[in-house]
C-alpha cells in the first residue's frame, strides 16, 4: 500500500481556485449590474438567436461530459484526472467545455438583451484562459507528460 501524505494528495489536481461555472455565473450577474449602472443599446439581434446559442452550448457540454464519463475521469478541477481525454469534442479543442461555457454566456446575453453581459464575454475568455486553462495545462503536463505534449500538438487550446 502506498503511503501518501495529505500534502501530496492536495497537489494532485490543477489547483483551480474558483470552479468555472461559478466564474460564468458571476459574470452574468456583473453584466446585469453593468446594464443597470450604464444603460446601453443592445445590438440588433433577436432574442431567439440567443436560445439557439444556448442550445448549442448545452449540446456541446453534453458531448464533453459524455467523453469524460466514457474515459472514467472527473470534470472537477479540484480532483485528480485519471485519464487524458482525446475523444469526442476533445479531438478538436483541448478545452471544448470552456468553449461551451463561452457560447452559453453569449447566448444568455443575447436572450436577456444584456449589453453588459455581452461585453464580458471576452473577459470570461481571459479569466478562463489565464486562471483555469493554464493551471490545468500545467497539471496535465505533470500528470501525463509526453502523452499530453502529443495532445497539445494535435488539438488547439481554443477553437
In a domain, 95, yes or no: yes
Q: Which residue has the cell 475523444?
A: 87
Q: Are 75 and 134 in contact (CB under 8 A)?
A: no
In a domain, 39, yes or no: no
Tell me: the pLDDT tens digits for 94-129?
Answer: 999 999 999 999 999 999 999 999 999 999 999 999
Q: Are 30 and 87 in contact (CB under 8 A)?
A: no
* SS3 category, 31: helix
How many separate domains does the chain show?
Answer: 1
In a domain, 134, yes or no: yes
In a domain, 26, yes or no: no
In a domain, 36, yes or no: no
- pTM of the predicted protein model: 0.90
State the cell numbers at 100: 461551451
State the cell numbers at 73: 475521469
pLDDT tier at 1, thresholds 50, 70, 90: very low
Tell me: the pLDDT tens digits for 29-87?
Answer: 999 999 999 999 998 899 899 999 999 999 999 999 999 999 999 999 888 999 999 99
In a domain, 140, yes or no: yes
Q: Are 136 and 15 in contact (CB under 8 A)?
A: no
Given this model, what pLDDT does residue 10 score? 47
CATH number for the domain harbouring residue 132: 1.20.120.1630
Write the burial class of residue 30 (CB in 10 Å: 0-12 exposed, 13-18 middle, 19+ buried).
Answer: middle
In a domain, 126, yes or no: yes
In a domain, 130, yes or no: yes
Q: Tell me the residue range of the domain where 96 lies.
A: 48-159
Tell me: the pLDDT tens digits for 12-22?
Answer: 889 899 999 99
Tell me: the pLDDT tens digits for 124-156?
Answer: 999 999 999 999 999 999 999 999 999 999 999
Q: Which one-letter DSSP state was computed for residue 42?
A: P
Helix (H) or strand (E) holding 36, with range, is helix 20-37
Amino acid at each position: 500500500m502506498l503511503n501518501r501524505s495529505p500534502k501530496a494528495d492536495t497537489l494532485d489536481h490543477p489547483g483551480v481556485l474558483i470552479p468555472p461555472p461559478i466564474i460564468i455565473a458571476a459574470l452574468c450577474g456583473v453584466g446585469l449590474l453593468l446594464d443597470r449602472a450604464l444603460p446601453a443599446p443592445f445590438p440588433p439581434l433577436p432574442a431567439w438567436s440567443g436560445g439557439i446559442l444556448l442550445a448549442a452550448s448545452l449540446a456541446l457540454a453534453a458531448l464533453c461530459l459524455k467523453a469524460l464519463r466514457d474515459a472514467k475521469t472527473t470534470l472537477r478541477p479540484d480532483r485528480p484526472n485519471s485519464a487524458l481525454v482525446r475523444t469526442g469534442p476533445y479531438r478538436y479543442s483541448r478545452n471544448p467545455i470552456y468553449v461551451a461555457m463561452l457560447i452559453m454566456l453569449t447566448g444568455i446575453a443575447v436572450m436577456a438583451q444584456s449589453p453588459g453581459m455581452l461585453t464580458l464575454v471576452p473577459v470570461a475568455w481571459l479569466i478562463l484562459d489565464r486562471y483555469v486553462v493554464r493551471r490545468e495545462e500545467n497539471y496535465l503536463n505533470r500528470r501525463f507528460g509526453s502523452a499530453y505534449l502529443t495532445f497539445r500538438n494535435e488539438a488547439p487550446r481554443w477553437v
